[in-house]
Structure 1
Amino acid sequence: MSVSDGANELVNTGMKKSSGLDYIYAYSKLITGKLYTRTINAYATDYYLDQILKENGKNGLRIALLANYQHIEYYEETVRCFC
C-alpha cells in the first residue's frame, strides 16, 4: 500500500489526512531508527513500539527506541526555544 493510500484509509476512520501522514511518517522513522519531528500521541507510540517488538524482536525495538529518544531530545529542544 502506498503512503497516500494508507493516509486515505486513515481518513476513512475519521482522521485528517495530514495527521494520518504524520503517523505513517513517525512509524517509518521508528522502524529505521531515524529522528522524526512530528508528534504522535502516547497511545500511538506505545502501540507502535509493541508492534515493532512483536514483528522485529528486541533488536527492532532497540532501533525504534533510539528514534524515539532522538524525537524526545528534538522536542525538548524545540520547546526550550519557545520559552
Structure 2
Amino acid sequence: MSYRYSDENTPPPARKASEVAQTTFEHVYEVDPRLMQTHVLQQVFPNWDTLRIMHARHDHLEWMHHHFAHTTISGSELMGDTTT
C-alpha cells in the first residue's frame, strides 16, 4: 500500500458548470471556491472523502426524510407548481 499526497488531495481539474458552480468529479458540483474565500475558510479535502460524501448523500437524504419530513416532493413537482 502506498500513499501519495498529491494523488489523494489534488482533485481533477475543475470544469465550469455555471457562473457560480464547478464540477471536478462526475456528479459532484460545488460552489466556485473563489466566491467563498472571504467568508468561508477553505479546507483541503482528500479525494476519497469527497467521493464518500457524494456516494452517501442518498442514504443521508432518506434518513432525514424518514425522521423529519411529513411529506416529500420532487423537484419537478415543485417546478410544476411555479410554472402554472
Q: TM-score scaled by structure 1?
A: 0.26
Q: Which has the higher strand share?
A: 2
Instruction: Answer 1 or 2: higher relative contact order, Cα 8 Å, separation at least 6.
Output: 1
Structure whose CA Rg is larger: 2
Q: Which has the higher helix share?
A: 1
Q: TM-score scaled by structure 2?
A: 0.26
